[in-house]
Amino acid sequence: MGNDGGSIPTRRELVKNAARALNTAELKEKLIEAQTHAWTFDPLSNRPLVAPIVSDSSGTLYNKDSIIEYLLPADPDVSNKEKDEVLQGKVKGLRDVVEVKFTVVKEGKEEMRVCPITSKELGAHTKAVYLVPCGHAFSEVAIREVKGEACVECNEPFKTEDIISILPVAKEEIERLAKRAEKLKESGLTHSLKKAPGSKKKRKAAEAENGTEGKITTNGDKAEAVSEKTKARLAENGNGAAQSRSGTSTPVSNGIKNSATASLTAKVLSEQEERNKRRKLAQNDNINSLFSNKGYDAQKQKGGDFMTRGFSLPRKN
């Protein structure tokens, strides 16, 4: 680079504008954009949020079928690393999520989620909450002003700490929800206030250490009846798990008491089976026949079509 009449530009000449911090208006606009995306799309599947919608202990919204698909036995060829990073261990079963029940109002072809008390649209511009365990959603202002400890929609009682903010932004609110989740875990409860799986075993182990196991099993008939019921449940769970790994959807749905969840699980299983079929068809003999490992022979390919016919140089005499 020289003797050509040119010049070498310096960094000061190339970089005209130095990097600067975003101002308050730009930060707010960026936050609203992120909130709008979180209110519209499922973070696990990147598909639009459609009912039924569920939420974990941190207030994040998901499609229920995405959660069921995540909880089903994983395909060894498919990695769930990205989904694990999104959930961060907060969802290990359907008891760790609560179905959020929104009041939907239609305006032409568009549907809006609104607060049933204030009629405000719930979204990026309005702070919204839902109640555990019923799952009804309201605006935060309505819950703060309406005094009482029962849901105005279904009259189910709730506690103040069980008011969950939807997609919280404030650091204090995020910390409050995290502390609530830790407290429930220590009590052997899940986000939906149902008992966590394995909590009975932990309690029995603690009672055995304290020497109270003999008091509980003094009645031989009751202990035998409990053991028989436990064996029957374990047998049912074992059969359901074995059949779910084989790829059939009917046995899994039979083990679910909620009919809506059972039908949704069957739908997710059928979609998984369809995807597996497509993956297998993509590796069939017809496609593999287009590729050859024996090399290219120009003489043999002269009569082929435009895909298989090649070009060869004439031999020199």
Q: How confident is the prediction along the chain (317 residues), in pLDDT tens digits per residue?
A: 555 667 788 877 777 776 677 788 888 888 999 999 999 999 999 999 999 999 999 999 999 999 998 988 766 666 678 888 989 989 999 999 999 999 999 888 888 999 999 999 999 999 999 999 999 999 999 998 887 889 999 999 999 999 999 999 999 999 999 999 999 999 999 999 999 887 665 566 656 666 554 444 444 444 444 455 555 554 554 444 444 434 444 444 445 666 777 777 777 777 777 777 776 666 565 556 655 555 555 555 555 555 555 555 555 55
248 occurs within a structural domain: no
pLDDT at 10: 82
Question: How many angstroms from the chain centroid is the CA of residue 70?
Answer: 7
pLDDT at 232: 54
Range of the domain at 194: 24-210
Model pTM score: 0.62
- Please state the domain count of the chain: 1
pLDDT at 24: 84
pLDDT at 54: 95
161 occurs within a structural domain: yes
pLDDT at 95: 93
16 occurs within a structural domain: no
171 occurs within a structural domain: yes
Q: How far is CA 72 from CA 79, 92, 197, 280, 295, in A?
A: 13, 11, 16, 20, 44
Q: Among residues 72, 55, 80, which one has the least CA distance to residue 253?
A: 72
258 occurs within a structural domain: no
301 occurs within a structural domain: no
pLDDT at 63: 95
112 occurs within a structural domain: yes
296 occurs within a structural domain: no
pLDDT at 180: 95
